[in-house]
Amino acid sequence: MRTKLRGITIAILTTIIMFSFQPTVLANDGKQRIFDEAELLTDNEVQQLEQLTYEHSKKHEIDFIIVTTPKAGKDIKKFVQDYYDDNAPGYDKPHGNAVIFAIDMDDAVREFYLAGFYKGKKYIDDTRINHIISKITPYLKDGNYYTAFATLIETGSEYAEYVPGIDPEGFYMQTWFHLLAAIVIAGGIVFFMAYNSGGKVTVNERTYTGDFRVIHRKDRFITKSVTRRRKPKNNSSGGGGGITGGGHSHSGGRGSF
Amino acid sequence: MVIHYKCPNCGDDMAFDTESGMLSCASCGRTDNIEDFSDEFITTTFSDEEAKEYNCNNCGAAVITDADTSATSCSFCGAAVVLADRVSGSLAPDKVIPFQISKEQAMDAFKKWCKNGRLTPKGFMTADRIKNITGIYVPFWLYDLHSEADVKAKATKVRTYSRGDYIYTETSYYDVERKIDLTFQKVPVDASEKMNDEMMDKLEPYDYGSLKDFKTPYLAGYLAEKYNYTNKDLFPRVKSKVNQYVDQYIRSTINGYTSYHYENKHVNTEERKAYYCLLPVWMVYYDFDKQEHTFAMNGVNGKVVGKPPLSMQKVMAWFSGIAATTFVVLKAITILVGGDLW
């Protein structure tokens, strides 16, 4: 009995020791989401990003995918669309929820494109994409690719927590605006209370009116003028979203570095 | 000339009673209908130097008044007296609305009003330092007016629609003409120099249903003033008062347009009739913090006007309360839609 108990204790201890000496490879679903074909990252960085994107992808059920290419050979937007059509990524199913970032390292191009599909489109809309782009562009310019991609995943994941349609960086989300609004509203109400403390005027135009007649009324049409202006178009250069050749609609935004 | 009301029963002084609307005797309880109170019991005496000094019929003491007072009470024996020459001839009022709120009711209503002041200092709300409450018949002119307004305006209707790649904005221009005819009845303007115009305007409206033909006994027991300004003097004031009403009527007839501006606006207001009328006002004088505050109360419906003192403490409390609540609500909404606390 005694030896048996000791045996179990040793077994447990061994297991604990074994696990604590394991290298930091944590649980993962085995799906690849970082495709560093342009070799901008070290192996270690790729692994860390895989881990990061796995955690955030799982959290929102949207795959955050990063593709780097030494030479896309076509417009970067088209590249992303084709990538989605051909590789059928998606957290929930093929051609499912995904946010795809692709970067073309071709010296003559140096452009990138960020797109959201399905749930990714709903939560990472054009406005949010533009915020993300302006956050990561400086890092890309510095060649700090790892930080840029990590920022992209973390910011995208943070934005995905907001109700769709809200601009997370909008002024109405800022503390200074809440303070200002609180002060203006309270000031207005208190001023109104003080102003009315001396009694209000309680008569209106009807109080003393006897008769009211319209004797003469004329509404004559003279002329009309028509002006026209072109409908504001989504940047035809590729800014904003679109529809892939396979018929998948997406949000999007591009930039260069 | 001084008018004094003697009770036909017991000979004591009579005064107007708000509850019954009659002349009543405090000693024996006799009440008399003012419309048919016999002249026999109204003693009037003429003195040679009327305009300067009046003598009380009751006790003979000099009645001391200022130049505008037309009714008061003898400071010596307390008998209600009306200075007849100040309510006769060109100074004779056409109409009067008798007091319908007694002194006690006025006091209670005022105390209640003080308690409702959300920004007034605590000490003020108890209303225990009311210095004086006086019922005054304030002279008013009630104007019957006829206004004609003639306007010409340019108006536009704007419609936008899209067709193809373009957004079209279609603006239609119209000539608009209106001629309206309006009558106003009994628009009041206070005719006493002493009374604050803004305060008197806020006391409106008076219930004209209780408007009575003027009889001197209504004034018994109250103060009354005579007018300082004639109906001609005050016509510009009543005109500006109704002009804003006319504007509102004009605007109500021009609708369906996106925008319009007057090219020509002509409003002509003329007086049809002006009644000289005495309206009942309770004046409350209240000492607070070494300052005297004056309030006026409509003697028919009890509406109180006048600036009460503001408590900085309470203002700050309300301000911070509302600001904090608003801030928390906004933050809560932010968090609900996914934002962070900061």
pLDDT tens, residue by residue, B162-185: 888 899 999 999 999 999 999 999
pLDDT tens, residue by residue, A181-192: 999 999 999 999
Chain A contacts of B182, Cβ < 8 Å?
Answer: 209-213
Q: Do B226 and B67 meet the contact criterion of CB atoms below 8 Å apart?
A: no
**DSSP per-residue letters across B144-211:** EEEEEEEEEEEEEEEEEEEETTEEEEEEEEEEEEEEEEEEEEEEEEE--SSS-HHHHHHHPPP-GGG-
pLDDT confidence band for A23 (50 / 70 / 90): very low
Give me chain B's average pLDDT, please: 86
Look at A208 and B185 and tell me if their CB atoms are within 8 Å: yes
Report which secondary-structure segment, H or E, holds B130.
strand B130-163
Look at B180 and A223 and tell me if their CB atoms are within 8 Å: no
**pLDDT for res B129:** 74
**pLDDT for res B23:** 85
**pLDDT for res A41:** 93
pLDDT confidence band for B15 (50 / 70 / 90): confident
**pLDDT for res B41:** 61
- The residue ranking higher by pLDDT, B1 or B302, is B302
Average pLDDT over residues B115-126: 83
> How many residues are there in chain A?
257
B260-281 CB burial, b ≥16 within 10 A, e <16: beeeeeebebeeeebbbbbbbb
Question: Using CA atoms, how far apart are residues B142 and A63, in angstroms rounded to an integer?
Answer: 80
**pLDDT for res A257:** 87
Mean pLDDT lowest among A51-65, B62-76, B196-210:
B62-76
Average pLDDT over residues A209-219: 90
Class of domain A29-170+238-256: alpha beta
Complex prediction ipTM = 0.75
Domain ranges of chain B: 2-86, 103-310, 311-342
- The residue ranking higher by pLDDT, A52 or B118, is A52
Distance of CA A121 to the CA centre of its chain: 8
Mean pLDDT lowest among A65-79, A111-125, B119-133:
B119-133
Instruction: Output the pTM of the full model.
Output: 0.73
Share of chain B above pLDDT 90, in %: 44
**pLDDT for res A156:** 94
Evaluate if residue A251 carries a pLDDT over 50: yes
**DSSP per-residue letters across B13-36:** BEEEETTTTEEEETTT--EE-STT
The residue of chain B nearest to residue A205, with distances taken between CA atoms, is B245
Evaluate if residue A117 carries a pLDDT over 60: yes
Question: Using CA atoms, how far apart are residues B214 and B203, in angstroms rounded to an integer?
Answer: 21
Chain A contacts of B238, Cβ < 8 Å?
Answer: none
Evaluate if residue B150 carries a pLDDT over 80: yes
Chain A contacts of B171, Cβ < 8 Å?
Answer: 224-227
Q: Is the peptide bond before B205 cis (omega within 30 degrees of 0)?
A: yes
- Extract the tokens encoding B164: 């193809």
The sheet carrying B14-17 orders its strands as B14-17, B22-25, B31-32
pLDDT tens, residue by residue, B215-273: 888 888 898 988 999 999 999 999 999 999 999 999 999 989 999 999 999 999 999 99
DSSP-based three-state secondary structure for A117: strand
- The residue ranking higher by pLDDT, B308 or B38, is B308
**pLDDT for res B50:** 45
**pLDDT for res B203:** 92
CA distance A186 to chain B (A): 5
- Extract the tokens encoding B150: 């003639």
**pLDDT for res B267:** 93
pLDDT confidence band for B58 (50 / 70 / 90): confident
Domain ranges of chain A: 29-170+238-256
- Extract the tokens encoding A63: 């795959």
Average pLDDT over residues B195-211: 89
**pLDDT for res B292:** 83
The residue of chain A nearest to residue B238, with distances taken between CA atoms, is A208
pLDDT confidence band for A237 (50 / 70 / 90): very low
pLDDT tens, residue by residue, A134-177: 999 999 999 999 999 999 999 999 999 999 988 998 888 889 99
A&B contacts, CB < 8 Å: 179
Evaluate if residue A26 carries a pLDDT over 80: no
pLDDT confidence band for B83 (50 / 70 / 90): confident
Question: Using CA atoms, how far apart are residues A40 and A106, in angstroms rounded to an integer?
Answer: 13
